[in-house]
Amino acid sequence: MTEFTNVTVVKKGNVFFEGGVTSRTILFPDGSRKTLGFAQPGEYRFTTAAAEIMEILAGEVEAQVGDGPWTKVAPGESFDVPANTSFTMKVASLADYCCSFLP
């Protein structure tokens, strides 16, 4: 899917790591939500309460979920993050991503 229709976009941005990672929240009519964002080169560790799918749209990213192995995630690929866990992203070049929060 290259675009979303009939959605609400929250104007206030989400800013993490002093601007190293930023995103906007997208709300869907069915109650689901996603964020669309960018990550600057660097290493970032997130903790999440909800399960999510991180889809990499562009850039060079390695991901580690919990204490699992590091995995290269190419544009067009994704990785799953279980609820109540953490994940780390090593970003080698500007990364464009879509995060889908699961119920």
Residue 3 lies in a domain: no
> Mean pLDDT for the chain?
97
Q: According to the model, what pLDDT value does residue 103 have? A: 87
pTM for this entry: 0.93
Q: How far apart are CA 7 and CA 5, in angstroms?
A: 6
The CATH number for 78's domain is 2.60.120.10
Show the tokens assigned to 103: 């119920």
Please state the rounded mean pLDDT for residues 79-99: 98
Q: According to the model, what pLDDT value does residue 78 have? A: 98
pLDDT digit string (tens) for 21-48? 999 999 999 999 999 999 999 999 999 9
| Enclosing domain of residue 77 | 8-101
Question: Which 3 state secondary structure label does DSSP give 19?
Answer: helix
Count CB-CB contacts under 10 A for residue 8.
Answer: 11
The structural domain count of the chain equals 1
- Neighbouring residues of 35: CB distance < 8 A, sequence distance ≥ 6: 14, 23, 24, 25, 26, 98, 99, 101
- 13 DSSP 8-state letter: P
Query: Which residue is associated with the tokens 């995995």?
Result: 71
Q: How far apart are CA 93 and CA 75, in angstroms?
A: 12
Banded pLDDT at 1 (limits 50, 70, 90): confident
Residue 2 lies in a domain: no
Residue 1 lies in a domain: no
- Neighbouring residues of 64: CB distance < 8 A, sequence distance ≥ 6: 70, 71, 87, 88
Residue 2 pLDDT greater than 90, yes or no: no
